[in-house]
Chain A
C-alpha cells in the first residue's frame, strides 16, 4: 500500500503494516491474496491452465506440437529461463513447418493479461477479439498460465 495509507492504518492501531512500493495492482498481479467483494469473484489467474506446454526459442515446432497435442493443447508458450513470456503459438502457428525453430514460428511479444482481471471481462474481450487463448502473466512478464476462451466463457457463465 502507499506510505500514506500505511501511516493511516498505524494511526488506527494496526501494528503489522508494510509499505508495498510496487503498488496494489502489482500485488494482485503476483497472485497474492486480497480481501473484499471482488476477491470472491473468479479471476483470470485462477482459471488459466498452468500445465500449458512451454518451450525455449530454439526448439522445433514439430517437437513442441507433439508435446502440446499429447497434453491436449493446441497452443504453446515460448518462455526464457526465467519463465518470462517471449512468444505464443496458437493452432495456426503450431501447424507451421515442423523443422522451424520456435523463434521464427511464434507470435513475438503477444498481448498478456494480469491474473487479477475478472473472468467475465476476460471472457467478453476474448470472444469479441476471437482469441482462442491468452497468456496470463505477472507484472514482470512471468507466465502464470494460459487462459482458454472456452474456460473463460464457461466460468463467466457460471456467475464469474
Chain B
C-alpha cells in the first residue's frame, strides 16, 4: 500500500487521468494505461459502438 494521495498519471493511450496504472497498479508508472485501454489492447474486451446520443 504505497499510494501517494494526490499523485495522478495519464493513460498513455487515451490520456485520461488515473490514480494508478491498470497494468502494474503503480501510481507513478511511466507507461500508465487505463483499465479500458488495457483490456482492449489485450483483447480482454471487445470495442463497443458509441451509444446513441
Residues of A in contact with B (beta carbons under 8 Å apart): 25, 29, 107-108, 110-111, 113-114, 116-118, 121-122, 125, 128-131
Contacts and interface: CB of A to CB of B under 8 A. Distances in A.
Interface of B: 1, 21-26, 29, 31, 38, 41-46
A117 B44 contact: yes
Most buried by A among B29, B38, B42: B42
Contacts of A25: 44-46
Q: Chain A: interface secondary structure?
A: mixed
A129 B4 CA distance: 19
Contact of B24 (A29, A108, A129): A129
Contact of B22 (A111, A118, A128): A111
B42 to A, nearest CB: 5
A159 B36 CA distance: 28
Contact of A130 (B24, B38, B45, B46): B24
Contact of A129 (B29, B41, B44, B45): B29
A131 B24 contact: yes
Nearest to B25: A111
Contact of A121 (B21, B24, B41, B45): B41
A129 B31 contact: yes
A125 B41 CA distance: 10
A108 B1 CA distance: 8
